[in-house]
Structure 1
Amino acid sequence: MAKKITMSDIAAAAGVSQSTVSLVLNGSTSVKIAQATKRKVLDSAESLGYNNKKVAHALGLPKKIAIVINGLSSYDPFIDAINAAREEAWSNDYILATFNYGHDEVMASKIESEINGGDYAGLIYASSMTRELSQQRVNTSLPTILLNCTNESNSDTPSILPADMIGAYKAVSHLTKQGYRRIAILSGENWMLASQQRSEGYRQALIDADILPNDDYCREANWSLKEAHQQTLDLFQLAQPPQAIFCCSDFMAMGCYQAIAELGLKIPQDVAVVGYDNQQIASESFPALTSVDLPYSDMGKLAVESLLAQMEDQPLLSHRRKVEGELIVRSSSSQ
């Protein structure tokens, strides 16, 4: 086991008293100490590997926040959350160190050791997929915020989530207010929290418009363009096909678009389509796709703000914050 470095060790290496070491490392201004002596103490502490955040800050090294994520694809809109968190951290003089362990247990253990042994002030534990965690893989005693996930076994850890139910409600209410009655949904995999929340918002919007939800119009397309394409074709085999389709992602909406084109139908004249995520493809598709903005940038910024408040022992407004996304209305749903 490595010997713990003490102030006495630093004093011996720097050739000064232990009292001088204590004053320098604690940033005391009560006694005037020569800059050369301060530098000698700090250099000795650093070379000996003395683990003290005040040393790093006295040396002018950046303060660090860690963000740990369990997997990220080559292009994932959740990158917006990470970029916003990085900018917000830097605006508060912190560097955001990003770790992606990709479900590799050995790597996760190494990351955990790095965070607990390094000069980190706090942790943002993130998931690119909105979900409830059975456990948090990387653990620390540092202040922690959960981003796009919650922890079933530890509800005390604050979390930042998208208000998916409200987002879906906005999308479907937009359709009902225009007089559409037969509205279908193409959802993701049913076990996922995002799918559950968006499906719940869909059903509630129908109920509030005095429309009885019809299971024939509820199709699980598993976030797949191919499956969304097939489910759309199947919907139009019904005796009363839908007048509008709510797709729980813009990616699935593209599969829906393809199927509608194959059927010789036009959007929105024959059927209206609304997506979710508001990715770039939504504004560039033809016709332009109405979509709900997934507020990842706002969530990333709020995660850093909440972590900084926690680090300063400030009370949080809520332990589970939900961020609403705006409905962006385009020509795919306008009559």
Structure 2
Amino acid sequence: MPARRPTMTDIAKQAGVSQSTVSLVLNDVPGTKVSPATRELVLAIARDISYPLVRHVRSSAAPARNLILYLTDELATSPHAMQTIDGATNTAWEHDCLVTVFATRSDPEREAAILAQMLAHPALLGVIYATIFTRAATIPAVLREVPTVLLNCHARDHAMPSVVPGEVLGGFAATMHLVEAGHRRIGFINGEPWLEAAAERLKGYRQALTTADIPYDAALVRQGDWQVGSGFEQASALLALADPPTALFCANDLMAVGAIDAARKLELDIPGRLSVVGYDDQDMARYFHPPLTTVLLPNGEMGRWAAETVIAQARAGVPGRRHHIKMECPLVVRDSVAPPAPR
């Protein structure tokens, strides 16, 4: 079995310094405040454990390429962006790489300016190009000349490696969980239908009904806007029907919270009188009362896959394969689902 390649983590442990300090020394980053003694200690340990210094020490001839540009349209609209960034940065660190993050705010001029600066950076290894909403994206032509992976989006011609959530199977799993609990009147509160995620979660819902030989009833499907208020409003309308649903599948956890609030206003016990399933697995889902059954968006895993793929592509020196990955969205079973109550 081949010996494990030494890493910056090994050096940091032996030197008693942070991994960031090791990276600054080995990459000879100018302007850093590292004492000469610490610098010499780090370099001595690196030589002792046969760490490949040539690849990491700066030189005018061949600067180290260990920087990944993470370019996204938005950061602050939800926690999902930070989860994918965490997955990417942690994986990059394991490969002795660093990630720098820029948000364009969907401004083409800002995007072009960032790319002009970063693609000229001597340490740039590759690019992760991300979007906050899953969609087909128009990819800047210049990225076709650089190792690039698309995260939560895909090119229309699938010319670049990309990873998105498997939303159809996520919607299918959520609905089938309610079917298997005995429900046949299952309401669905979706987000805006023009979003790819909403369209695919609806497709999964309908496929599960078809699998269970349950007729699709358009009256049980309502459109929300991903916010708590719309979950409350649409759930209230569904529960006011002459033949109301015994279960609700909400296309995100925020709308599920609104739906539960609507049920409680009507004094319907959750899950005794109404079962509820959400989507996203936000932190609040596990702390709600009862804890919410939901579907996990694999943001961290997508970030890890993107970083691993762009690093492998760059270090191999060949274009990435044209593969479009749909990552599993697993069901997280908690306490908000039970068999339907007798009529």
**TM-score bucket of the superposed structures, by smaller chain:** 0.7 to 0.9
Q: Equivalent of 1:278, from 256, 277, 281?
A: 281
Q: Distance in 2 between matches of 1:251 and 1:276?
A: 9
Q: Is the 8 A contact 1:268 1:334 kept in 2?
A: yes
For the structure 1 residues 314 and 168, does the alpha-carbon distance in structure 2 shift closer, same or farther, using more than 3 Å as the test? farther
Shift of residue 207 of structure 1?
Answer: 0.5
What is the aligned partner in structure 1 of residue 120 from structure 2?
117
Runs of 4 or more consecutive aligned structure 1 residues displaced over 4 Å after TM superposition: 313-318
- 1:332 counterpart SS class: coil
Q: Distance in 1 between matches of 2:126 and 2:254?
A: 35
What is the aligned partner in structure 2 of residue 201 from structure 1?
204
Q: Is the 8 A contact 1:81 1:301 kept in 2?
A: yes
- 2:119 counterpart SS class: helix
For the structure 1 residues 181 and 155, does the alpha-carbon distance in structure 2 shift closer, same or farther, using more than 3 Å as the test? same
What is the aligned partner in structure 2 of residue 149 from structure 1?
153
- 1:234 counterpart SS class: helix
TM-score (norm 1): 0.79
Partner amino acid, structure 2, of 1:122: G
- 2:154 counterpart SS class: strand
The gaps in structure 1 that reach 5 residues or longer are 1-38, 46-51
The gaps in structure 2 that reach 5 residues or longer are 1-56
Q: How many residues align?
A: 280
Does 2:157 align with 1:126?
A: no
Shift of residue 115 of structure 1?
Answer: 2.1
What is the aligned partner in structure 1 of residue 25 from structure 2?
none
What is the aligned partner in structure 1 of residue 230 from structure 2?
227
Q: Equivalent of 2:241, from 238, 243, 259?
A: 238
Partner amino acid, structure 2, of 1:293: L
What is the aligned partner in structure 1 of residue 334 from structure 2?
330
Q: Is the 8 A contact 2:228 2:255 kept in 1?
A: yes
Offset from partner CA, 1:114-172 (integer Å, 9 cap, x none): 12211211111001211111x125833211110000122x4211110101111111111
- 1:117 counterpart SS class: coil
What is the aligned partner in structure 2 of residue 69 from structure 1?
72
What is the aligned partner in structure 2 of residue 248 from structure 1?
251
What is the aligned partner in structure 2 of residue 174 from structure 1?
177
Does 2:308 align with 1:305?
A: yes
Q: Equivalent of 2:89, from 54, 71, 86?
A: 86
For the structure 1 residues 330 and 258, does the alpha-carbon distance in structure 2 shift closer, same or farther, using more than 3 Å as the test? same
Shift of residue 67 of structure 1?
Answer: 0.8
Q: Distance in 1 between matches of 2:274 and 2:223?
A: 19
Q: Distance in 2 between matches of 1:242 and 1:314?
A: 54
Shift of residue 329 of structure 1?
Answer: 0.8
Q: Distance in 2 between matches of 1:239 and 1:175?
A: 21
Q: Is the 8 A contact 1:108 1:138 kept in 2?
A: no
Partner amino acid, structure 1, of 2:95: N
Q: Distance in 1 between matches of 2:141 and 2:104?
A: 10
Partner amino acid, structure 2, of 1:319: H
For the structure 1 residues 314 and 118, does the alpha-carbon distance in structure 2 shift closer, same or farther, using more than 3 Å as the test? closer
Partner amino acid, structure 2, of 1:238: L
Correspondence 1:28-39 to 2 at 5 A: none
Shift of residue 227 of structure 1?
Answer: 1.2
Query: Larger deviation: 100-109 or 136-145?
Result: 136-145
Does 2:323 align with 1:319?
A: yes
Q: Is the 8 A contact 1:309 1:315 kept in 2?
A: no
Shift of residue 78 of structure 1?
Answer: 2.5
Report sequence identity in percent.
34
What is the aligned partner in structure 2 of residue 107 from structure 1?
110
- 1:78 counterpart SS class: helix
Q: Distance in 2 between matches of 1:316 and 1:169?
A: 31
Q: Is the 8 A contact 2:160 2:320 kept in 1?
A: no
Partner amino acid, structure 2, of 1:324: E
